[in-house]
Amino acid sequence: MSSMALILGAGFSKTAGSPLAAELFDIEPFGGAQWRNRLIERVLVAWDRWSREHDGGPEAFVTEVYRHRNEFSGLKLWQDIVQFLAMRLAQDFARWYKHDSKSSRSSDNIFEAQIPFPHELWWDALFQRLGLEYPLTVVTTNWDIWVERGLRPRPTPRRLRPGFHYGSGKELLAGVTGHPRSEYRRNPEISGSVALLKLHGSISWAVEKTSLVKYGDCRPAFRGDAAMIPPIQGKETPEWLKPIWELALEKLKAATTWLIVGYSIPDYDVEIGRLLKKSGVNRPLVHVFAPHPEPIAERLGRWVDATDVILHGPIPEACGDLADMRIL
């Protein structure tokens, strides 16, 4: 049976305005609370000190802190970095305002329907090509919630959106910020048909008492306990994330066509490479969408013997290619 898997990386979110890995420390996020401001300052001071003494960018800095996290003070810095990154990415979704002299936020939830034009164009073109019934899985290394907003939490046929779920079908999420009369605040349920598998966690997830709790908004990012792991070599996959990786392996292996969008298959993320190798045994047809797709195709070839690899430009420029895209 034909099916498709989308493999989305940081380049996909970049088209919506989110930063690439090399840009994660370029802009200071808005803290809105003293403890968050202190955390932001600690991370930026550590990054500045490290970057003065070492070659390499943010990925190298994050990798070194992760590898030394069990040493004295290393764990605290590592936890600070994870929450800094969560706040930095969640910043793209929140609207801040003053209420009773305190900073409050709104709109940082998955139910907001407005998304950037490149993503609107992408999803429109994809579902015009596939329809809403075609079996589709989205596998992503991204922590943000752009895909949730793009697919929509529930099917919306008039907008040609099938809705998504996190791999377990219909699911009631934890609380959503928003207007008290909002339907989604009363009933934050996801019930779509597309499995969205987030391999590195999410700014809207938290681990509470060893269990993964999925929120309908980004409150874990702002309260300091977002469930996220780094895209680096040697990362450990925690127990709460293993079922997602197992389901990703199953879905990728079953998919006859892969679309790799904005994911560079970096050499340092060996675990993703191994996942692609295990899941590519059935030789899928692969489409690569990127500003420079040739090196991505070359790196893919180290892991997967694809039936064919078809190269495209970046989105949104290449969205028109979807209309007559070859699929198996």
- What is the β-pairing status of strands 201-208 and 211-214? antiparallel
Q: What pLDDT score does 103 carry?
A: 56
Question: Does 316 sit behind a cis peptide bond, omega within 30 degrees of 0 on the bond before it?
Answer: yes
Sequence-distant (≥ 6) Cβ neighbours of residue 152 within 8 angstroms: 113, 159, 161, 162, 163, 164, 192
What integer is the mean pLDDT of 65-83?
84
Average pLDDT along the chain: 91
Q: What pLDDT score does 175 carry?
A: 76
Q: How far apart are CA 80 and CA 63, in angstroms?
A: 14
What integer is the mean pLDDT of 185-196?
87
Q: 34-57 burial string, b = 16+ CB within 10 Å, else e?
A: eebeebbeebeebbeebeeeeeee
Structure tokens at 93: 């979704």
- What is the β-pairing status of strands 136-140 and 102-106? unpaired
pLDDT > 80? residue 71: no
What integer is the mean pLDDT of 8-30?
92
What's the start-to-end Cα distance of the chain, in Å? 9
**What does pTM read for this prediction?**
0.92
Q: What pLDDT score does 178 carry?
A: 53
Q: How far apart are CA 270 and CA 20, in angstroms?
A: 19
Single-letter residue type at 83: Q
Structure tokens at 96: 């801040």
Single-letter residue type at 312: H
Q: 266-280 burial string, b = 16+ CB within 10 Å, else e?
A: bebbebbbebbeebb
Single-letter residue type at 46: A
Q: What pLDDT score does 113 carry?
A: 82
Confidence category of residue 108, pLDDT binned at 50, 70, 90: confident
Confidence category of residue 176, pLDDT binned at 50, 70, 90: low
CB-CB contact of 218 with 236 (8 Å)? no
CB-CB contact of 320 with 297 (8 Å)? no
What integer is the mean pLDDT of 170-187?
68
The per-residue pLDDT for range 219-246, each reduced to its tens digit, is 999 888 999 998 777 788 999 999 999 9
Question: Counting every residue, how long is the chain?
Answer: 328
Q: What is the DSSP string of 143-171?
A: -SSHHHHHH-SS-BGGGTB--EESSSSSE
Q: How far apart are CA 1 and CA 15, in angstroms?
A: 32
Report the candidate in 318, 307, 205 with the shortest Cα–Cα distance to residue 258: 307
CB-CB contact of 170 with 190 (8 Å)? yes
Q: How far apart are CA 207 and CA 216, in angstroms?
A: 15
CB-CB contact of 219 with 175 (8 Å)? yes
Q: How far apart are CA 212 and CA 232, in angstroms?
A: 22
Single-letter residue type at 196: L
Kind plus residue range of the DSSP H or E element containing 201: strand 201-208
